[in-house]
Amino acid sequence: MSIGENLRQLRLQKGLTQEQAAAKLHITRQALSSYESQRTQPDIHMLLALAEVYETDLDGILYGQETSLKNLRRLRTLALWLLALLTGLSILSAAFLWSANAFFPLTGGQLEQMETAVAIHFRLTDAWETLDGFILLLSNLGFLGLLLLKQMGKCNLSLGRRVAYMGALAGGTMLPGLVFSLFDPVYAFINYGITPLFLWARMLLFFIIDLAVDRFRKRKKAA
């Protein structure tokens, strides 16, 4: 749809007449009508004002609310799947390390039992290290995918939503290690928390890159 058609659809979705919408924008009804009929094009300042009145973003004005919402739903789905997957893998990783120390310690017991315990212990710790490496790789690919999908799909996310997601991911990946470390006879939380800390630091880096790209785009549109 054209910008004019998008403007008309957004106005009708808000239940506003041209007179009511024009009053909120501090312009005449004729000026708004010319925007909707494509006789004239609104400048960047008017586009921002229209987006505010219709409670959407510039992409909703330029490309249509349906396209903007569809891209936002895709972004939200990927973000939730990534959150669930990283949380589940973090629980499994912490369980491997705790099982190695709790059930197969490297001290005590008969020699034959010790040999078996040591073998199982190192298999579990090897699995823990491998899984932690996979978690970091998956987080890199996942955060990159979220960044690309958000920027290419032109999704507008508030700072509050981004911070909330970072908090949820930090909690989902760090809490399992914290809980298991309380019952671990050998390792402390720092041993469990190294990978989640690296993961959170990488997420923060992608978060900063995303904010920087958003600011650059806004300045470019306003220029």
- 110-167 per-position pLDDT tens digit: 545 667 778 888 899 999 999 999 999 999 999 988 888 877 766 667 778 888 888 8
Q: Phi then psi for 17, rounded to 5 degrees?
A: -85, 170
The residue ranking higher by pLDDT, 214 or 81, is 81
* Number of residues assigned to the chain: 223
In this predicted structure, what is the pLDDT of residue 92?
94
- 29-55 per-position pLDDT tens digit: 999 999 999 899 888 889 888 888 887
- Which of these, 84, 56, 85, lies nearest to 71 by C-alpha position? 56
Given a contact cutoff of 8 angstroms between Cβ atoms, the answer to whether 55 and 104 are in contact is no
CA pair distance 84, 178, nearest whole angstrom = 18
E strand or H helix at 3, and its extent?
helix 3-13
Task: Please list, in sequence order, all residues whose beta carbon lies within 8 angstroms of the beta carbon of residue 118, skipping any fewer than 6 positions away.
Answer: 104, 106
The residue ranking higher by pLDDT, 89 or 1, is 89
- Which of these, 146, 19, 141, lies nearest to 80 by C-alpha position? 146
In this predicted structure, what is the pLDDT of residue 111?
47
Question: Taking 70 as the threshold, does the pLDDT of residue 3 lie above it?
Answer: yes
- Say whether pTM exceeds 0.85: no
CA pair distance 4, 19, nearest whole angstrom = 16
Largest CA distance in the chain: 92
Burial class of residue 164 in the structure, from the number of CB atoms within 10 Å of its CB (0-12 exposed, 13-18 middle, 19+ buried):
exposed
In this predicted structure, what is the pLDDT of residue 6?
83
- 169-223 per-position pLDDT tens digit: 889 999 999 999 999 988 898 889 999 999 889 889 998 998 888 788 777 755 5
In this predicted structure, what is the pLDDT of residue 29?
92
In this predicted structure, what is the pLDDT of residue 112?
54
The residue ranking higher by pLDDT, 54 or 63, is 54
Predicted confidence band of residue 12 (pLDDT cuts 50, 70, 90):
confident
CA pair distance 118, 126, nearest whole angstrom = 12
In this predicted structure, what is the pLDDT of residue 5?
85
CA pair distance 171, 169, nearest whole angstrom = 5
CA pair distance 117, 204, nearest whole angstrom = 40
Cα-Cα end-to-end distance for the chain: 25
Q: Phi then psi for 64, rounded to 5 degrees?
A: 105, 145
